[in-house]
Structure formats: C-alpha cells, structure tokens
Amino acid sequence: MKQSEYLRRLEAALEQRLGPEETADVLRDQRELIADAVAQGQTEQEAVARMGDPEALAQELAGAPRQMEQASLGRRLAAYALDTLPVVLAALMGLLLFQAGGVTGISTLTGGVDAPGEDGPIVEQKLEYDRDGQLASMTLTVDGEIIFLQRYPDRAEADKALANRGLSLEDIDVTTEVRPMELMRWDVPWALAGLWLMAGFLALGVSGLFTGLVSGLAGGYTLGRWALGIRVAGRDGERPGLGRCLLRDTVILCVAGCLSGGIVNLISLCMAGSGQGLHDRAAGTVVIRVPRRARR
C-alpha cells in the first residue's frame, strides 16, 4: 500500500470515530512517523506495512466505543412524524376524495349461486333490483341466448319460459344479482378504515424509501431526525452508509408495511361474513364462485 492510500483509508476510518481535530492530529503524526522511517532507509511500502492495518489502528485509537446516548422514544416518534407527515397528508387528501366520490356513486354488487348442472345447457339468471329492494328486471339466458326478459317480472311467466325449454328453476346454474350499491351503514366506516389503514402502510413504505435514501446520503440524518437532534448510527457511532440505511428504512419498513397491511386485510376478510375484505368493501366488489362449465 502506498502512503497516500494508507492515509486516505486511515482518515476515512478515523472520521467515523474521532473529532476532526484529533483526526488531523493523528494524520500529522502518521506522516511524521512514515517520513522518519523512510529517512532511516525503509521504503514507503515497508514503513506503511509496519504501521499495520489502517482500520484496525483507527479502532485501537478510538479505544472503547464512544459513549452514546440513545435517543428517547418521544424524539424518535416526533422525528418519524415529521418525516412521514407529507406522505400522510397526501394519503388523507386521497381519503377525502374517496369519501366525496365513493358514497354518492352507484355501483353494483354481484353475487353468484352455483347449482348442479354438469350436463345440459348453462342457464343463467340476472336479477336487477331497484332502490326499494323490488325485483326490477329479470333476464334468463340458456347458453347465452336470452329466453326471457321482463321488467318487474311475473315469476309464473319466467317459469313458463323455462318449462318451454324443458327446464325448471332447479336448473339455473348462475345467478347474478345487481342492486344499486347500498353500502350498509357500517360498511362506509369499514371501507374508510380500510383505506386509512392501507394509506398508512403505504405511507410507511413510501416514507421508508425516502428516509432510507436521505439518511443513507446524509450520514443517518433525515430532516425530522436532524430537527429533533437524533440520528441513526452504527454500533460504534459510525455513519451507517447508504446500504444499511436502505436496508433499515426501506426494505424492512416496506416489507413490514406491506405484510402488516396484508394481515389486517386478511383478518378483515375472515371477520366479514359476506366474504368482503377491506379491499372489497372499498371497491364495492365481491369474489364469487363460478361453476366449472361456466368459466370463460
């Protein structure tokens, strides 16, 4: 190793552990010692080799790890709030927009019923209801061909249309019900709560990416941490580096955020009798069963 490289590595290792004045003083001493060794007839390489490993020397010089005061939970949370505030605000805006648009809009809820029908044609019925819950229209199709379509239908006539084909109500394979979206009273809060939670987890992930990048480049600081006088550091108080920051903030928080979001959704799915998870409630969808022969 050349003197210049040795000194450069030593400086880098010292900067993480000692103050700038002490670092400069050590570097001055090292130059003097190497120069004296060279003056005594050693080559630069020999003199540097006899010094030992620069990182090990920096560690020896720093001695026991510097006393570090751990940041209090309050400061950490405050810094975290500062750093995530912009993302959370954006999520909140989205939530308000959703509330404004989502409740007034009319969507459809579809439900499926499957019945035995391994052989013979595929019989489908589509039932549309009005806002009062009355059956507003009924469509019967056999293999895609409409055999019956009536507004405010007469059930007996529907039965007759089926009977003409040698079928009965028993043979209906798929039922699709269409109703004006009536988010039940408790459905709106559920959907909002779900969105809110997901926005929160998204915020975790996005801000994780943000803080990971910033603190990686700024030696463990983000704006919030800087304002609160705390920073992320390695065990010896050294700067954590971009890789570690990205691992800490971005990967872990993103994955944890996505996972916990998924788990919350799973729990909501298990709790919901209708089979609508948070995501279903929010989007007004449901997952239905499709018989094998009706699959397209």
Partner 1 sequence: MDAQLKKGALPLCILFIIRQEARYGYEIIGEVRAVFPDVYDGSIYTVLRRLAADGYARTELRDEPSGGPTRKYYAITPEGLAYLEQLRRSWHEMQERLNRLGV
Q: Which residues make up the interface to partner 1 (CB under 8 A)? A: 26, 28-30, 32-33, 35-37, 40, 47, 50-53, 56-57, 60-61, 63
Three-state secondary structure string covering 150-215: EECCCHHHHHHHHHHCCCCHHHEEEEEEECECCCCCCHHHHHHHHHHHHHHHHHHHHHHHHHHHHH
**Cα–Cα distance, 270 to 266 (Å, whole number):** 6
Complex with partner 1: residue 7 or 202, whichever CB lies closer: 7
Strand partners, 114: 174
Complex with partner 1: residue 56 or 242, whichever CB lies closer: 56
Dihedral over Cα of 179, 185, 191, 194: its sign = negative
Burial class of residue 20, CB neighbours in 10 A (0-12, 13-18, 19+)? exposed
Write down the least CB distance from residue 236 to partner 1, Å: 16
Complex with partner 1: residue 51 or 198, whichever CB lies closer: 51
* Nearest Cα residue to 249 out of 224, 219, 225, 215: 215
* Nearest Cα residue to 237 out of 24, 67, 9: 67
Write down the least CB distance from residue 47 to partner 1, Å: 8
Write down the least CB distance from residue 51 to partner 1, Å: 4
Greatest Cα pair distance, the chain, in angstroms, is 116
Complex with partner 1: residue 61 or 178, whichever CB lies closer: 61
Write down the least CB distance from residue 5 to partner 1, Å: 15
Query: CB-based contacts of 121: which residues, under 8 Å, 6+ apart?
Result: 142, 143, 165, 167
Write down the least CB distance from residue 66 to partner 1, Å: 14
Complex with partner 1: residue 5 or 29, whichever CB lies closer: 29
**Cα–Cα distance, 281 to 258 (Å, whole number):** 19
* Nearest Cα residue to 233 out of 7, 82, 26, 16: 16
Write down the least CB distance from residue 29 to partner 1, Å: 6
Complex with partner 1: residue 50 or 155, whichever CB lies closer: 50
For the chain, how far is it from start to end, CA to CA, in angstroms?
70
Secondary structure letter of residue 119 according to DSSP: S
Q: Which helix (H) or strand (E) holds 121?
A: none
Strands 145-151 and 172-178, bridge-based pairing: unpaired
Complex with partner 1: residue 51 or 123, whichever CB lies closer: 51
Write down the least CB distance from residue 32 to partner 1, Å: 6
Write down the least CB distance from residue 41 to partner 1, Å: 12
Complex with partner 1: residue 61 or 223, whichever CB lies closer: 61
